[in-house]
A = this chain, B = another copy of it.
Amino acid sequence: MDDIDEATFEHLLRGADLRVTRPRLAVLRAVRRHPHADTGSVLAAVRAEEPTVSHQAVYDVLGALTDSGLVRRIQPAGSVARYELRVGDNHHHVVCRSCGAVADVDCAVGHTPCLTASDAGGFVIDEAEVTYWGLCPSCASRPTTSTDSSN
């Protein structure tokens, strides 16, 4: 899901009943190029190639792509929304408590892990999302430096 070319992006859009526009292609490229990027970063990346795209367009596009399942939105506590192209493979994320870096983690329990909650209090569950918290390699090796950024 990372070796998608331009033509495939078009097919994905059409398959989702979405019109093919320059902003949408630019957003897809940006998300492919910057996994886990927030809206601001996507906007910046988009404007690098399409300088006239508005911030609202990026919000709209990310929303439409998320709704149709072409991108996945994640939002760890305390973070703004982040997006990724890798979709439909039930993977999870590790978030660094110090610098906020996000990385993918394949769940050891196979697909749809932990989806069997013992007692869901009557809820009809359709997804189990796992977020691991800890320290990224560089923050772990630089203990008390209190590095902070947003990726």
Contact = CB atoms under 8 A, between A and B. Distances in A.
A78, A115, A116, A133: which has the most chain B beta carbons within 10 Å? A133
Nearest to A116: B108
Interface of A: 73-75, 77-78, 81, 92, 94, 96-97, 103-109, 113-137, 140
A127 to B, nearest CB: 4
A109 B108 CA distance: 13
Contacts of A127: 132-134
B128 A132 contact: yes
A117 B129 contact: no
Given A75-B77, A77-B75, A81-B77, A117 B107 contact: yes
